[in-house]
Structure 1
């Protein structure tokens, strides 16, 4: 072990390899000082000899230390390279066994699973893109497209169709079908940049990154969400094609990004009757009522 490496960090990684805290400390002392007795190690660590001897016995059983014959018993650490190779071989053997004998997950993931934190969200997206067998539909901002650049590059290489709708300039792999949208910088920073992915028209992933809140994502195989993302994606594709062919005419008639159409159905004041209209309506009804009443009186 290198001198200068943080002792706590070394202990942490040794524990990640399956050693207890005391076993890690004993290994560190032996690697640093060479052959030692249990008494010497206990003295340096300030730990009871019985606990140290128990830890050393476990290390010997794991093949991490060598023991001498005679009294007192001396201990020597096996080179860390040798320990690492043995652990790696055992780990690989365990992984192969579990893959072969673990029950296969056949359940449909119709529940909604949540992910929080940038590392978890991005790693899950990369993992699911690797699993794609037929098609991956992605709607991404340029920042997320850049972050997922390598994972996206692998998709066409797997023989999978890749369609990407991007917001802003983004470099995409050859073989990807790209639909680029103009970027409006007025996005709400606190809400983050929204992204969606649909893998094999089966798994839906929806999330946000880049806002004031941590990265968040939701994934599900629920048919309703899958259909919603599918329809939304291909609606954007149709609009993209229309804008490519008739962009100037569409903008003149409907405004940029069809805002005039959207406003007609989203602005409540345009859908609700105005107060003055209501007043006029009441006046008309009142005059009509008075006129009818006058006619009845004349007849009498």
Structure 2
């Protein structure tokens, strides 16, 4: 019930209108007095909402005294709402003023639902290319949108981490000053049409944080990182035994050579980049 009321509110109905429509759909028909009594609210508020819904065509008012009201069948209601929403969207798209150029900026997104919603909207707008660096858990949540993009002819470039794979080729930089790092998170990044990107972290408790931007510098950094990961992966696949034979244990330390370890942590050593 709460989910239904939430979606009705998302479609533009007030909380009172939503409850009245559900009540009428449950009963088939009812008077304003009966609806008010069932909902435990004032008759004046119910009659005002019923008048609005009747004028908009979502509710029918029968003849008689007292008047009895009924809501449209779900299919008819959905068709009417969809038509009006599509008409409003089309008008907004064509008539909304378009200002001058806007400098690329960064904005933060908090919350799993908000992050996934923003990402899904952008994936549905993709025209040419989607570059994905993501864990399989997050990819599974977006499977439908990614499959639809491929069907539209959008090129997908993937980098997956399934959780049981070998450690990433890049070292993890420790936090400075001994500040604790929040654990249990999975990083992800998406670059869409080389003009929009999202970079963030999703945690086991369902929380998420992400940065979204169209700034060309961050887009280029993410694309370069993706390319380097893929190149290194293929080199290790093709030359793994040779690399191990030539470098031995030193091979596993090459990347960490360029990490600045914090002197105040338990991490070893000092600045090793020379």
Q: Give runs of aligned pairs for residues 1-300 of structure 1, distance below 5 A.
A: 6=1, 14-27=8-21, 30-31=24-25, 38=32, 42=36, 47-63=41-57, 64-68=59-63, 72-81=65-74, 82-104=76-98, 107-108=101-102, 110-168=104-162, 182=166, 190-211=183-204, 214-254=207-247, 258-266=251-259, 269=269
Shift of 1:129: 2.7
TM superposition score normalised by structure 1: 0.66
The question of whether the paired residues in 1 share the 8 Å contact of 2:24 and 2:71 is answered with no
Q: Give CA-to-partner distance per residue, 1:41-88, whole Å, 9 cap, x none.
A: 55555555544443343333223131426xx44233243344443333
Q: 2:162 and 2:250 mapped to 1: Cα distance?
A: 15
SS of residue paired to 2:194: coil
Give 1:174's aligned residue. Answer: none
Q: 1:74 to 1:116 in 2, by over 3 A?
A: same
The question of whether the paired residues in 2 share the 8 Å contact of 1:190 and 1:213 is answered with no
| RMSD of aligned alpha carbons | 3.6
Shift of 1:111: 1.2
Q: 2:161 and 2:192 mapped to 1: Cα distance?
A: 20
Give 2:176's aligned residue. Answer: none
Which consecutive residues of structure 1, in runs of 5 or more, have no partner in the other structure?
1-5, 171-180, 273-300
| Higher alpha-carbon deviation: 198-207 or 108-117 | 108-117
TM superposition score normalised by structure 2: 0.72
Structure with bigger RCO (C-alpha 8 Å, 6+ apart): 2
Q: 1:233 to 1:254 in 2, by over 3 A?
A: farther
Q: 1:154 to 1:37 in 2, by over 3 A?
A: closer
SS of residue paired to 1:113: strand
Q: 2:248 and 2:270 mapped to 1: Cα distance?
A: 17
SS of residue paired to 1:190: coil
Shift of 1:206: 0.9
Specify the structure having the higher radius of gyration (Cα).
1
Q: 1:11 and 1:213 mapped to 2: Cα distance?
A: 23
The question of whether the paired residues in 1 share the 8 Å contact of 2:112 and 2:206 is answered with no
| Higher alpha-carbon deviation: 223-232 or 137-146 | 137-146
Q: 1:219 to 1:80 in 2, by over 3 A?
A: same
Q: 2:145 and 2:112 mapped to 1: Cα distance?
A: 16
Q: 2:235 and 2:10 mapped to 1: Cα distance?
A: 56
SS of residue paired to 2:183: helix
Shift of 1:207: 1.0
Q: Give CA-to-partner distance per residue, 1:3-60, whole Å, 9 cap, x none.
A: xxx4x66655554444444444555555555665555555555555544443343333
